[in-house]
Amino acid sequence: MSIVRVALDMPLSTLFDYVLTDGVAVMPGQRVIVPFGRKQVVGVVMECAANSELAAERIKPVVRVLDEIPPLPAELLTLLRFCSDYYHHPLGATVLSALPVRLRSCEPITLKEALHYTLSTIGRALDLSLVPKRKVVQQRILTALQAGVLSAAQLRALSPSAPTALKALLQSGWVESVSLKPSLTLSKQGLTFNNAHILTAAQQQAVDAVTQSHGYGCFLLHGVTGSGKTEIYVHLMHRMLQQGGQVLLLVPEINLTPQLENYFRSRFPDAELVSLHSGLGDSERTQNWLRAQSGSARIVLGTRLAVFTPLPQLALVIVDEEHDASFKQQDGLRYSARDVAIFRANQRGVPIVLGSATPSLESYYNAQSGRYRLLQLTERALAAAKLPTLRCINTSNAFMQHGVSEQLLTALEQNLQRGEQSLVFINRRGYAPVLMCTACGWLSDCPNCAGKLVLHLQDRRLRCHHCGHQVRVPHACPSCGNADLQPVGIGTQRVESALQERFPEARILRVDRDSTRNKGAWNAMRRQIHDDEVDILVGTQILAKGHDFPNLTLVGVLNPDGALYSSDFRASEKLFAQLAQVAGRAGRADKPGEVLIQTAFPDHPLFRALRDHDYNAWAKILLAERQSAGFPPFVYQVLLRAEGKLETGVYAFLQQGREAAVALAIAVEVYGVVPAAMPRRANHSRAQILVQCESRKLLQQFLRAWKPLLDALPAQKLRWSLDIDPLEF
Ligand SMILES: [Zn+2]
Ligand SMILES: [Zn+2]
């Protein structure tokens, strides 16, 4: 008998046995359609075997082998097995969740051949001087095709109007399309490299360190904002592409991919580049994935899910902004794409570069202890671009209007007069975080959550940012009937309207999740900012990440103090990263930048380190704190979370889980059952247990023993999950 063990998308940690009809052969990694209950589902063959533990009559046959695309490579299956083991997530669910949606469905899939173009017989005989001179783009295409066959992407890179010109050439019969097997295009292509930049000595050293290493090596590229990390990526890519390799580049934000995509295309016009992120349609994502698997896509640019892309020629992995929390998936398979990428590079024996201006403490610690190699860039790449100067405005003795100090208003006014752009950063959207009754002290609580309803004045609503609950703003206090309700605290909308009142002539643009909700909205805004159609930006962290605005010279930061004394031990690490990022937006071209931070604690070491642009000093302080408190990176953690409508049920489950953990008598620290940071959300009570240990190995050993005990506990009407290396509490 030929038995196959199949991974199915089920919340069970087992594989499922099926039998193959005689004469049908499969390989591990191949997709199959199998019966499950009354349905037919797609699964992935993980193993082939001669016999099964099940009785022969109980084993159902495979319905169909899906062989229109090649099987998943063994290397990817190993990676997925590792993730399933390490994150204690069912193997089938892990394998299937790594595939694009289309590949999880029973519908047939084909890899569309990328169209290529060549000169036709008449095209080849054509005298180019006969083409009208004003048809510049047609001329350019014909000249390029004289050198050989080109792909649609290569032609697109010639000019924005290339598609129109190509259409005309196809109609005139001078150019014709040909289909090439994707793998053939690879070796025949030369590689054009538009090398517009000369590397600084520090950049060159970083490039050399990576290219001269052999096999696996993890490099932490720590460079101040504007130090030219992207240029290092480009040069590393060039090296790897020249040698026929594929490059995987992970970024934290979908918003960042279109810019980077255009940039890398302009540098490598004939290397095929695909992007992979959740913003793509199912069909496009599947095609891009298949092009990576076939080896024809040479550069794969994507968000965390791209870490599971099959890449037969993978030669280099880059994780940009490695400290960013969005690399961690917060549900289902709760993986860290950065950590999985490191495992993957190690498995493959290739270098990985983690880039950041403010590395995560975990990575910094690993670089200090020699596990990673540290590459530092301490100066900005453009000699003229100096790091911004930073000043704190002490809010305890400043005159404030709607949360903005008089000093900041004056600075904004001067910047307006100079015709330069300013950014006011506040990490809270809406008008005010809460509405209050001045008579009885009533606050706009969310009825479903432990949070407050945020005042949105634009559409006159109170809205919960946790569960989405919303109501109209009441005319009077629901508790005492008093008509005087006051907004408390500030959000982006309030700052926007206060600034508009103060500077009626200024063009003010608010950038937050509300204003960028519509597709393409943020891209249009970016263009406005670049084209200098905006004087003052008011925005949240969307603005902080990796964007380059050459005319932006002043940054004001409102209200960062909450994070300084937060119960979340990572809050101040995140705040430093965020402020360094947002400060890094100021003065990137030839104009000096200034950053003003409004705080009640101007002497806090965090602000001192920011002022001195001294990440190392700050990291040392934090590491010392973490070491004495026994927090990561000195320990490894796992969080057992549970939530359900019945608070008693949630706590009873966790209590039993805790007793089971203690009874195992393994040398890990098991903490008590505590409410989650958000103890109630969308009418669900939420609580958790933290377990930690200095040894990752011992913690994993504990989890292997604990997980089956948890699986066996009664857990009616509640959901629970294990979060390994949690970032949020
Ligand atoms: Zn009241
Ligand atoms: Zn709510």
Q: Which residue has the higher pLDDT, 133 or 553?
A: 553
CA dist., res. 430 & res. 455, Å (int): 6
Interval between CA 432 and ligand 1 midpoint (Å): 18
CA dist., res. 25 & res. 189, Å (int): 35
Interval between CA 567 and ligand 2 midpoint (Å): 21
Percentage of the chain with pLDDT > 90? 69
- The pairing of beta strand 351-356 with beta strand 314-320: parallel
CA dist., res. 660 & res. 283, Å (int): 46
Q: Are 596 and 634 in contact (CB under 8 A)?
A: no
Interval between CA 681 and ligand 1 midpoint (Å): 25
Please report, for residues 25, 542, 593, the alpha-carbon distance to residue 252 in angstroms, rounded to integers and kept in the order given: 41, 12, 26
Q: Which of 25-39, 470-484, 587-601, 602-616 has the least mean pLDDT?
A: 587-601
Interval between CA 180 and ligand 2 midpoint (Å): 54
Interval between CA 443 and ligand 1 midpoint (Å): 8
> Looking at the CA of 465, which ligand is closest?
2
Q: Which of 149-163, 546-560, 619-633, 664-678 has the least mean pLDDT?
A: 149-163
Q: What stretches of 415-515 adopt beta strand conformation (E)?
A: 421-425, 434-437, 454-456, 461-463, 470-472, 485-488, 508-511
Interval between CA 685 and ligand 2 midpoint (Å): 12
Summarised one tens digit per residue, pLDDT across range 300-319 is 999 999 999 999 999 999 99
637 Rama class: left (phi>0) / alpha (psi -120 to 50) / beta: beta
> Looking at the CA of 437, which ligand is closest?
1
> Looking at the CA of 441, which ligand is closest?
1
Angle between helices 257-267 and 229-242 (to 10 degrees): 50
Interval between CA 470 and ligand 2 midpoint (Å): 8
Whole-number CA gyration radius for the chain: 28
DSSP letter assigned to residue 279 = T
Concatenated DSSP letters for 129-159?
Answer: GGS-TT-HHHHHHHHHHHT--EEHHHHHTT-
Interval between CA 126 and ligand 1 midpoint (Å): 84
pLDDT at 181 over 60: no
CA neighbor of 677 nearest in space, from 450, 513, 423:
450
CA neighbor of 728 nearest in space, from 682, 683, 678:
678
Classify 65 as helix, strand or coil: strand
pLDDT at 499 over 80: yes
333-354 CB burial, b ≥16 within 10 A, e <16: bbbbbbbbbbbbbeebebbbbb
Q: From the CB of residue 622, how many other CB atoms can be counted at a distance below 10 Å?
A: 22
Interval between CA 462 and ligand 2 midpoint (Å): 11
Interval between CA 480 and ligand 1 midpoint (Å): 4
> Looking at the CA of 482, which ligand is closest?
1
Q: What stretches of 326-388 adopt beta strand conformation (E)?
A: 351-356, 373-377
Interval between CA 431 and ligand 2 midpoint (Å): 17
CA dist., res. 534 & res. 524, Å (int): 12
Percentage of the chain with pLDDT > 70? 96
> Looking at the CA of 450, which ligand is closest?
2
- Token pair 């998936």 is found at 329
Interval between CA 436 and ligand 1 midpoint (Å): 8
Interval between CA 465 and ligand 2 midpoint (Å): 7
Classify 552 as helix, strand or coil: strand
DSSP letter assigned to residue 667 = S
The environment of the single-atom ion ligand 2, i.e. residues with CB closer than 5 A, is: 446, 448-449, 464, 466-467, 469
> Looking at the CA of 684, which ligand is closest?
2
pLDDT at 178 over 90: no
Interval between CA 404 and ligand 1 midpoint (Å): 28
214 Cβ contact list (under 8 Å, min separation 6): none
> Looking at the CA of 681, which ligand is closest?
2
- Token pair 């066996």 is found at 712
Report pLDDT for 225: 79
H helix runs in 434-503, sequence order: 492-502
DSSP letter assigned to residue 216 = -
Q: Which of 138-152, 341-355, 402-416, 627-641 has the least mean pLDDT?
A: 138-152
Interval between CA 435 and ligand 1 midpoint (Å): 11
> Looking at the CA of 477, which ligand is closest?
1
Mean pLDDT of the chain: 91
Q: Which two tokens stand for residue 458?
A: 């634009």
**Residue 110 CA neighbour count, 13 Å, CB half:** 4
> Looking at the CA of 485, which ligand is closest?
1
Interval between CA 728 and ligand 2 midpoint (Å): 19
> Looking at the CA of 678, which ligand is closest?
2
- The pairing of beta strand 299-302 with beta strand 246-250: parallel
pTM of the model: 0.88
Interval between CA 447 and ligand 2 midpoint (Å): 7
Interval between CA 334 and ligand 2 midpoint (Å): 24
Interval between CA 556 and ligand 2 midpoint (Å): 30
Q: From the CB of residue 641, how many other CB atoms can be counted at a distance below 10 Å?
A: 20
Interval between CA 503 and ligand 1 midpoint (Å): 34
pLDDT at 46 over 90: yes
Interval between CA 682 and ligand 2 midpoint (Å): 5
- The pairing of beta strand 461-463 with beta strand 454-456: antiparallel
> Looking at the CA of 483, which ligand is closest?
1
Question: Residue range 550-559: average pLDDT?
Answer: 92
Summarised one tens digit per residue, pLDDT across range 99-113 is 999 999 888 777 666
Interval between CA 467 and ligand 2 midpoint (Å): 4
Interval between CA 356 and ligand 2 midpoint (Å): 34
Q: From the CB of residue 239, how many other CB atoms can be counted at a distance below 10 Å?
A: 16
The environment of the single-atom ion ligand 1, i.e. residues with CB closer than 5 A, is: 437, 439-440, 442, 477, 479-480, 482
Interval between CA 478 and ligand 2 midpoint (Å): 18
Interval between CA 452 and ligand 2 midpoint (Å): 7
> Looking at the CA of 474, which ligand is closest?
1
pLDDT at 599 over 70: yes
> Looking at the CA of 446, which ligand is closest?
2
Interval between CA 496 and ligand 1 midpoint (Å): 28
Report pLDDT for 190: 65
Interval between CA 445 and ligand 2 midpoint (Å): 8
Summarised one tens digit per residue, pLDDT across range 182-208 is 443 444 456 788 887 789 999 999 999
Report pLDDT for 182: 46
> Looking at the CA of 683, which ligand is closest?
2
CA neighbor of 464 nearest in space, from 443, 440, 442, 495:
443
Interval between CA 483 and ligand 1 midpoint (Å): 8
Interval between CA 687 and ligand 2 midpoint (Å): 17
CA neighbor of 243 nearest in space, from 265, 271, 223, 267:
271
Most confident region among 10-24, 381-395, 649-663 by mean pLDDT: 649-663
Q: From the CB of residue 551, how many other CB atoms can be counted at a distance below 10 Å?
A: 18
Q: Is 176 exposed, middle or buried (0-12, 13-18, 19+ CB in 10 A)?
A: middle
The band of 729, judged by pLDDT with boundaries at 50, 70 and 90, is: confident
Interval between CA 155 and ligand 1 midpoint (Å): 67
Question: Residue range 529-544: average pLDDT?
Answer: 91
> Looking at the CA of 453, which ligand is closest?
2
Interval between CA 487 and ligand 1 midpoint (Å): 13
Interval between CA 720 and ligand 2 midpoint (Å): 20
> Looking at the CA of 478, which ligand is closest?
1
Interval between CA 644 and ligand 2 midpoint (Å): 15
Q: From the CB of residue 686, how many other CB atoms can be counted at a distance below 10 Å?
A: 22
Q: Which two tokens stand for residue 498?
A: 């206060």
pLDDT at 547 over 80: no
Interval between CA 485 and ligand 1 midpoint (Å): 8
